[in-house]
Amino acid sequence: EGDSQTMKKAMAVAQHHDAVSGTEKQHVANDYAKRLANGWQHCQVLVSNSLAALSGSSAERIYCDNLNISVCPLTESSKKFSVNVYNPLARPVTWPVRLPVNGTAYAVSDASGKSVDCQVVPVSTATWALRRNRGSAVRELVFQVQAPPLGFTHYTVSLLQDEHPPPRVEH
């Protein structure tokens, strides 16, 4: 059972104490981070439940919290996966998506099955250094998604060409 109350409380503590300004001792900063991470875990369940109810699909949803450093065990190892995009804005948005992958060519299609232009680019050396052995993606799959106002859509990604077999990664 998910909830947003845990995150709400963690945010309240963080904001009351100016938690993001660095004006607390390190062990206190660690505690704020732990509370916020725990809050987000509870929110993930809540979001999954909501999207399952709205979409009618109870398939397990995976969250990738480290996409900014090109880490996502699912996209790095899967030959076929779907990307669900929820747009919290009250207007349609077009948004670039970058997913860590190991294949060299992929096909991306939108919810209606229409093909979407996508490209595979190498992961930068700065990102390699930054992620410190977390994740193994050597490339990123880049494409634009379009999401409806206050709603969601999905894109299907299929591996077309695999230069090297993807390494085994436990989700």
Partner 1 sequence: RPPTAIQNKFLRVTFDPDTGLLSSLSNLETKQTIKLTQNFFWYNASDGNNSRSNQPSGAYIFRPNSSTPFTISKTAKTETIQTSVVQEVRQWFAPWVSQVVRLYADSRALELEWTVGPLPIDDDLGKEVITRLDTSIKTSQYFYTDSNGREVLQRRTDYRPTWHLKQSEPVAGNYYPINSRAFIKDDEDQLTVVTDRSQGGGSIYNGSLEIMLHRRLLYDDVRGVGEPLNESSDIYPDGLVVRGRLLLSLDRPPSAADAHRPLAQEVVLQPLLTFTDGDLH
Site residues, partner 1 (CB under 8 A): 20-26, 29, 47-48, 51, 57, 59-64, 67-69, 72, 74-75, 78, 80-89, 91, 93-97, 117-119, 121-122, 124-127, 130, 132, 134, 142-145, 147, 154, 156, 171
CB < 8 Å & 24+ apart, contacts of 51-59: 51/84, 51/86, 51/152, 54/152, 55/84, 55/152
Select 132 or 164, whichever has its Cβ closest to partner 1: 132
Whole-number minimum distance, CB 96 to partner 1, in Å?
A: 5
Q: Are 77 and 169 in contact (CB under 8 A)?
A: yes
CA distance 138 to 103: 9
Whole-number minimum distance, CB 35 to partner 1, in Å?
A: 16
Residue 83 token pair: 């990307």
CA distance 171 to 152: 24
Select 6 or 84, whichever has its Cβ closest to partner 1: 84
Whole-number minimum distance, CB 46 to partner 1, in Å?
A: 12
Residue 132 token pair: 């410190």
Whole-number minimum distance, CB 29 to partner 1, in Å?
A: 7
Whole-number minimum distance, CB 144 to partner 1, in Å?
A: 6
Select 13 or 81, whichever has its Cβ closest to partner 1: 81
62-83 core/surface letters (b: 16 or more CB in 10 A; e: else):
eebeeeebbbbbebbbbeebeb
